[in-house]
Amino acid sequence: MKLTPWRTDHAVRRALRLLAAETGMVLRERLTWAVLAALFAALLLGAHTGAVRVEAERAALATLAAEEGRAVVAAREAYARYARATPVKINYWQDPTNAFGYMTQFLTVHAVKPPTPLAALATGQSDVQPSFMRVSFGSSTVFDDVAYELGSAARLKLGAFDLAFVLAVLVPLAIIALAGTRLSVERDSGTLRLIAAQPIGPRAVAGAKFGAVAGILVVAVLGQTGLALWLTGAIRSLAGSGVTLGLLAGALAAYILVWVAACALVATLWRGAVAALSILVLAWTLFTVAVPAAASIAVDCLTDKPSRIAAIDASRQVQDAFANGGAGPRLTAQWLARIPGAAGRADLVEAPEIKRLARDAHYDVQLDARRESFRAHDRESAALSRWLALASPVTTFDFALQRAAGTDAGRHAAFLASAAAYRRTLRAFFEPRIVAQALNPVPVCAGCQARLDFDAYDDVPRFQPSIDLTAGRRGALMALAWLIVLAGGLALSARARLKAWPA
């Protein structure tokens, strides 16, 4: 039937009246306020947990900066002390005035992954992946990511009670509690027959019922989340993340609509409250744990995960080849031959610093392909996971929060790559100085035991942390778009099934 403007206007007014009546009814229910109160308490706790974590990360970074500063001061003091004659023998590993000694024993620098402005939103990978790594040359390293902050394994296993958990996991349960049986309970109690006897279609009734819950939940959850963030001081400054936060708010609203629409769709099965509740909880379980588990298996199958054990074996083979069978001196001589002015210096082949540099260069060349395979896997796994996360609205929204918070796997993979690059930069800084000292030792005062060839402590390159705010924005936008599509799809499916009242 084609609606005339008068009829359309009338239908809209009637729908609005129904919506207002339903909204009033939902707001008068004690269950509504109990659920919203519990949700607010959870949001407050989640925001507080995030704020505490971010504060701890900031404090840790401040401690590292202080530690780096103290190391430089100590080296400078040692330089002043050792620049005078002394009977004390100073080995290279005790000598911060020597470029090699400083690089291998005293250098205190870190690659850091500072928290983003929205870091408090999601713990993400931050509790299992380190937010900083000490870059050192004291011993050989096989991979980029050997460092981690050992903590309670039980805590890691249980997972963090953070805002992402509350929003992505608990909010749908709150929605199911409020909207899950909204229509089916009418059928169970017999009032659906009375409603059906009125001159009103099922679409208008369902629209009013689920629209009222959706409206209340969107306003309440967004408001409560904002209030929780403000009260706990979880977001100190937006610093360029305002748009991302806005997009996330939109994604949260769309996420709520997805679950309300799912409740509406389940209601159209007309199977009663028990069945509706069972189906919705099973759907929640499916999308919260089963689909992510299946997606995780898919990621593992589709990406070629290199073996850590095999990589260690390879690294030991390289190490073994250098250390034994006389290969070390030959490889050191080859490495030395590439340096201008060092080709004929056979005496340097046994110098510890030259041996070490040649050895590390050899390891780097031999193991680079393996390191790169791990980096490539991390990047590939992070990217594929982002796409497969779309299989579930829960992971879609959760991943958007993680990307905005900068606690996602993609950022960590980029961090590992930049930390490895920083290590190379440091090596490039020290290597010429070490070689120059080996070729032409700096003259020192009579009776001085230290080498006194290095005092450029302030010139040592510093790690430049990067915060890619656009990644968070892109993630939030993608989640928003996808959740709108999902919500729309579910709502349209429900609408299509609500042509007529059940028999």
Partner 1 sequence: MRRVRAELGQLLRDARLRWIGAVLVVLLGVALAGAWRQAVRDAGDVRAIAQAERGRWLGQDAKNPHSADHYGLWVFKPSAPLAILDPGIEPYTGRMVRIEAHLFNDAVFRAVQDANPLARAGLGSVADIVQLIVPLAAILLGFSAFAADRERGTLRLALGNGAAPGRLFMARFGALLAALALLVGLPLLVLGGLAAVSLDAPGWEVWPRLVPWVAAQLTYAALFLVLAMTLSLTARTARSALAASLLAWVLVCVAAPRLATVAVDATTPALSYGETRARIEETFRGHRTAEANDDRAKAVLARYGVTDPDALPVDLRGLMMSENEQHNFAVFDAAFGAFFDSLLRQERAYAWAGLLSPRIALQALSAALAGTDFPQHVRFVWAAEHYRRGISRRMNQAIIDNPQGGERRYTADHDLWETVPPFDHGPMPLADAAWAVPLAILATWLAVLGGAAVLAVRRLTP
Least Å distance between CB 203 and partner 1? 25
Q: 126 near 407, Cβ under 8 Å?
A: yes
Site for partner 1 in 449-478 (CB under 8 A): 449
DSSP SS3 for 110: strand
Least Å distance between CB 11 and partner 1? 33
Among 241, 385, 396, 437, binds partner 1 (CB under 8 A): 385
Contact letters (x/-) for partner 1, 125-144, by CB under 8 A? x--xx---------x-----
Indicate the burial class of 363 (C-beta count within 10 angstroms; 0-12, 13-18, 19 or more).
middle
Among 47, 299, 414, 452, binds partner 1 (CB under 8 A): 299
Instruction: Output the six-digit token pair for 438.
Output: 């080996």
**CA nearest neighbour of 298 among 371, 403, 390:** 390
Ranges of beta strands (E only) in 11-147 are: 109-112, 132-135
Least Å distance between CB 296 and partner 1? 4
User: Where does this chain touch partner 1 (CB under 8 A) — which range of 10-18, 222-230, 284-292, 417-425?
Assistant: 284-292
**CA nearest neighbour of 96 among 85, 110, 109, 82:** 82
Least Å distance between CB 324 and partner 1? 4
The size of the interface with partner 1 (CB under 8 A), counted in residues, is 95
Site for partner 1 in 189-248 (CB under 8 A): none
Among 158, 369, 446, 503, binds partner 1 (CB under 8 A): 158
Indicate the burial class of 161 (C-beta count within 10 angstroms; 0-12, 13-18, 19 or more).
middle
Q: How far is CA 391 from CA 114, 299, 388, 422, in A?
A: 30, 12, 6, 37
User: Where does this chain touch partner 1 (CB under 8 A) — which range of 211-219, 235-243, 388-396, 424-432?
Assistant: 388-396
Least Å distance between CB 94 and partner 1? 4
Among 324, 340, 344, 458, binds partner 1 (CB under 8 A): 324
Among 145, 186, 353, 453, binds partner 1 (CB under 8 A): 145
CB burial of 292-314 (b: ≥16 within 10 Å; e: otherwise) equals beebeeebeeebeebeeeebeeb
Give the span between the Cα atoms of 344 and 329, in whole angstroms: 14
Least Å distance between CB 84 and partner 1? 13
Q: 54 near 238, Cβ under 8 Å?
A: no
What single-letter DSSP state applies at residue 346? G
Told to check if 337 binds partner 1 by CB under 8 A, we report no
Contact letters (x/-) for partner 1, 244-283, by CB under 8 A? ----------------------------xxx--xx--x--
Among 37, 310, 456, 492, binds partner 1 (CB under 8 A): 310
Give the span between the Cα atoms of 249 and 242, in whole angstroms: 11
Among 121, 221, 389, 469, binds partner 1 (CB under 8 A): 389
Q: Which is nearer to partner 1, 18 or 252 (CB)?
A: 252
310: number of CA atoms within 13 Å, CB side? 7
Among 320, 350, 368, 372, binds partner 1 (CB under 8 A): 320
Q: Which is nearer to partner 1, 382 or 491 (CB)?
A: 382
Told to check if 165 binds partner 1 by CB under 8 A, we report yes
If one counts every other C-beta atom within 10 angstroms of the C-beta of residue 153, the result is: 8
User: Where does this chain touch partner 1 (CB under 8 A) — which range of 1-9, 377-385, 431-439, 472-480?
Assistant: 377-385
Told to check if 169 binds partner 1 by CB under 8 A, we report yes
Site for partner 1 in 407-436 (CB under 8 A): 408-409
Among 7, 16, 69, 188, binds partner 1 (CB under 8 A): 188
Told to check if 185 binds partner 1 by CB under 8 A, we report yes
User: Where does this chain touch partner 1 (CB under 8 A) — which range of 165-173, 258-266, 431-439, 455-463?
Assistant: 165-173
Site for partner 1 in 105-124 (CB under 8 A): 124
Site for partner 1 in 46-105 (CB under 8 A): 49, 60, 63, 67, 74, 78, 82, 87-91, 93-95
Q: Rounded to 5, what percent of the chain is helix, strand, coil? A: 70, 0, 25
Q: 491 near 257, Cβ under 8 Å?
A: yes
Among 252, 402, 438, 491, binds partner 1 (CB under 8 A): 402
Q: Which is nearer to partner 1, 181 or 244 (CB)?
A: 181
Angle between helices 469-497 and 202-232 (to 10 degrees): 160
If one counts every other C-beta atom within 10 angstroms of the C-beta of residue 121, the result is: 33
What single-letter DSSP state applies at residue 114? P
Among 8, 285, 334, 464, binds partner 1 (CB under 8 A): 285
Instruction: Output the six-digit token pair for 393.
Output: 């609205």
Q: 398 near 389, Cβ under 8 Å?
A: yes
Told to check if 161 binds partner 1 by CB under 8 A, we report yes
Instruction: Name the β-bridge partners of 133.
Output: 111
Residues 6+ apart with CB under 8 A from 497: 265, 268
Least Å distance between CB 83 and partner 1? 13
Q: Which is nearer to partner 1, 4 or 139 (CB)?
A: 139
Least Å distance between CB 88 and partner 1? 4
Among 15, 72, 83, 170, binds partner 1 (CB under 8 A): 170
If one counts every other C-beta atom within 10 angstroms of the C-beta of residue 318, the result is: 20
Q: 241 near 472, Cβ under 8 Å?
A: yes
